[in-house]
Structure 1
């Protein structure tokens, strides 16, 4: 039986348009199909973990609107513990506008709404009860992220930080992070080092480890992930697939990663498992809808 995982983060409704190519500034292009799906990095990661068998508690803030209600109904269907999700009196539920081109690449604009109203006072100590791993991202206020990181340090709970969307993070917070999972762009923003080869990957990871981060996993899309800690310094390859939509690949990876961690796997094995889950997700359209179930992973 896996230990309990706590995901604290954003919940959005994704409005997705498929198009042959992205428009240039000032240009209008005629797109193809339109989809409206549940999304948000926090919710995506929570659903991904739950579908893989995790005992999952999700904490977020939504608006008092149809999008928030639909999100709650979706979480219930996925079997998430949502007893600590709160509602904003003033802000609408988060919305993401997503364009996906024929290569499966995406462009995303987010109206955060109620996600930016998730405050430390919405996070009572009860949410951490019996929790082994906490996963948090940066689509909620930085003050709230900082509170979660420090609270996990005080409670001796492993904290996984997915630093997305990319921003600078204070050294005082980094030293309490058990595992950080930036992509290549986020790595450059965090460290000033663009990870373009093995040497620069190592340099960027060492920069973060010198700040106090215990484990570093740099995600590189189809090129796999780079794992660096006291035991490992290696690239773990991805699973080759024909991608149709990469929208939630990183979120599925993170959800699968903490699922394997909570099940007691070492980080190398956990990364391999997460790469398999992410590979399946990019062969499907949508965010949460693309997350695989445990029986789909070999």
Structure 2
């Protein structure tokens, strides 16, 4: 049984700097980093690296960046037969500026236009399906085609046009930004009533299982009517790029392994914590052994 990831694949070029960005200035950066990125692609890479049979449905351009993404995924055994190479579009590209002082990042992304295409679905039904909101129609088709698969969405920001997707998945694993955009309530970890209010609103969107990630403040989830807080692991951030993607990839792995929800959140948190201490998105993904040793 396998994991199927559906969504975006991007090529990242990262520039670390300690300078404040000011218009009409020129900056020289000597230690740039390049690698594959995006939620579904990073999650697929992680699951492949960790030894799970994994497929990715996404799209890239028929160019050098697209070929490098395919090569990177194939290196860890990810099935890329359904990564569509667009003949008339360039691969989605992200320019990332990382603050070397605190590891925070700012991203400029040039996405591809999503056009209709019919993938060759996996021969064997997947055990877990991860979607990131891109390729909406294919994602919904997959959820309908494989109703027995456990599904989760990497929900970074709220988009009303994706409501059907948010409502359908078994696990809505969303960011604090998503939670605020949908609920209009600022979640304060020290004020339990705000957490309850946010979950009450989110349960109108998804009646199944909800997890909210809070960055350096950890994650919160509700199980059997009780809200639980899993604190983040202490880190010395170098680059936070891809930490959310990596959290969700490890979450998908935990679902595939049949772990308890609290253990999944703890495991995903540890994986993300290790990742922020390295540069890049995909290149910062730790090995399974490193995560297990860390825990």
Task: Return the offset for 1:229.
Answer: 3.8
Taking structure 1 as the reference length, the TM-score comes to: 0.89
Counterparts of 1:10 and 1:170, CA distance in 2: 15
Counterparts of 1:75 and 1:159, CA distance in 2: 22
Aligned equivalent of 1:281, options 275, 283, 292: 275
1:10 and 1:60 in contact (8 A); partners too: yes
Counterparts of 2:71 and 2:162, CA distance in 1: 36
Counterparts of 1:248 and 1:33, CA distance in 2: 19
1:159 aligns with 2:151: yes
SS in 2 for 1:297: helix
2:157 and 2:177 in contact (8 A); partners too: no
1:60-81 Cα offsets, whole Å, 9 max, x none, are: 1111111111111111111111
1:217 aligns with 2:214: no
Deviates more, 1:198-207 or 1:79-88: 198-207
1:129 aligns with 2:124: yes
1:194 and 1:200 in contact (8 A); partners too: yes
Aligned equivalent of 1:182, options 171, 174, 177: 174
SS in 2 for 1:135: strand
1:99 aligns with 2:93: no
SS in 2 for 1:131: coil
Task: Return the offset for 1:44.
Answer: 1.0
Deviates more, 1:152-161 or 1:89-98: 152-161
Task: Return the offset for 1:287.
Answer: 0.8
1:82 aligns with 2:80: yes
Partner of 2:114: 117
1:249 aligns with 2:243: yes
Task: Return the offset for 1:181.
Answer: 1.6
Partner of 1:47: 45
Partner of 1:149: 140
Counterparts of 1:67 and 1:285, CA distance in 2: 19
SS in 2 for 1:117: coil
1:204-230 Cα offsets, whole Å, 9 max, x none, are: 222121223411111111111111243
Counterparts of 1:128 and 1:145, CA distance in 2: 21
Counterparts of 1:171 and 1:86, CA distance in 2: 25
1:219 and 1:225 in contact (8 A); partners too: yes
Change (3 A) 1:254 1:56: same
2:66 and 2:91 in contact (8 A); partners too: yes
Partner of 2:257: 263
Task: Return the offset for 1:256.
Answer: 0.3
Change (3 A) 1:91 1:282: same
Partner of 2:6: 8
1:152 and 1:159 in contact (8 A); partners too: yes
Extract unaligned runs of 5+ from structure 1.
none
Task: Return the offset for 1:25.
Answer: 4.6
2:254 and 2:267 in contact (8 A); partners too: yes
